Amino acid sequence: MLAAKTLALFILTALAEIIGCYLPYLWLKKGATAWLLAPAALSLALFAWLLTLHPNAAGRVYAAYGGVYITVALAWLWAVDGIRPSAWDVAGVLVSLAGMGIIMFAPRG
């Protein structure tokens, strides 16, 4: 149950970060309205707050979060940008998730 909650929280955190960065990208690179910067800032604030909800030490949370971020970013690549991840992308996701699992759920003495 703890692993599922942790993973769900990491996924929400990654989505908040990606949205917070994607909206300015749309403004800077795609000519979208600058009004997107307001929800982008809110999304990044949500991202920072979500990281504080983990009971583990901040450095461990940040390190493990990277693995989930990679996974969600490649899902975003496929769902939003319409680019299917390669087999190498998927291999990288599996390695990063294995690292996240080790960092977050290894027994501590």
Write down the mean pLDDT value for the chain: 92
Structure tokens at 51: 């990281």
Per-residue pLDDT tens digits for 13-64: 999 999 999 999 999 999 999 999 999 999 999 999 998 998 788 888 888 8
d(CA 28, CA 58): 32
pTM of the model: 0.87
Q: What is the mean pLDDT of residues 79-91?
A: 96
> pLDDT higher for 58 or 90?
90
Domain boundaries, the chain: 2-105
The answer to whether 104 touches 56, Cβ cutoff 8 Å, is yes
d(CA 68, CA 49): 17
With 0-12 CB in 10 A as exposed, 13-18 as middle and 19+ as buried, what is 7? middle
Amino acid present at 106: A
Q: What is the band of 1 on the pLDDT scale with cuts at 50, 70, 90?
A: confident
Query: What does the pLDDT read at residue 89?
Result: 97
Q: What is the band of 96 on the pLDDT scale with cuts at 50, 70, 90?
A: very high
H or E segment and range at residue 74: helix 58-79
| Backbone conformation region of residue 106, classed left if phi is above 0, alpha if psi is from -120 to 50, else beta | beta
